[in-house]
Amino acid sequence: MTTTPISLTTTPLDPSTVAVALAGEIDLCTVARIEPELTLLAGSAERELTLDLTDVTFCDSSGVELFLRMHRRCVAAGVRLKLCRIQRLPARVIRTLGVDRTVLCSFA
């Protein structure tokens, strides 16, 4: 069995904002690997958690559900979640399922 590739790189932008660059595919397998760390990061951000999706090549409904769960966690913590630089294929899923009507999104 092969493992779906995903990587997560964290960069504090300033004391109140945490930026996370995701690279690879966001699917059922990778969500289980990245959600615990994203949850911790949401709790450590003071104002904003930015997920940079420049290098995300695929996102299925599991990824969409992850973004919506992260949005709820961020709202509960008083933190804004922002998805940025969303590429063409993940953008199609995010727009089709209406995530961009709930979560702040910027598209490539």
**According to the model, what pLDDT value does residue 30 have?**
97
The per-residue pLDDT for range 55-91, each reduced to its tens digit, is 999 999 999 999 999 999 999 999 999 999 999 999 9
Average pLDDT over residues 29-37: 96
Tell me whether residue 84 is exposed, middle or buried, using C-beta atoms within 10 angstroms of its C-beta: 0 to 12, 13 to 18, 19 or more.
middle
Query: In a 3-state reduction of DSSP, which class is residue 5?
Result: coil
CA distance 72 to 2: 31
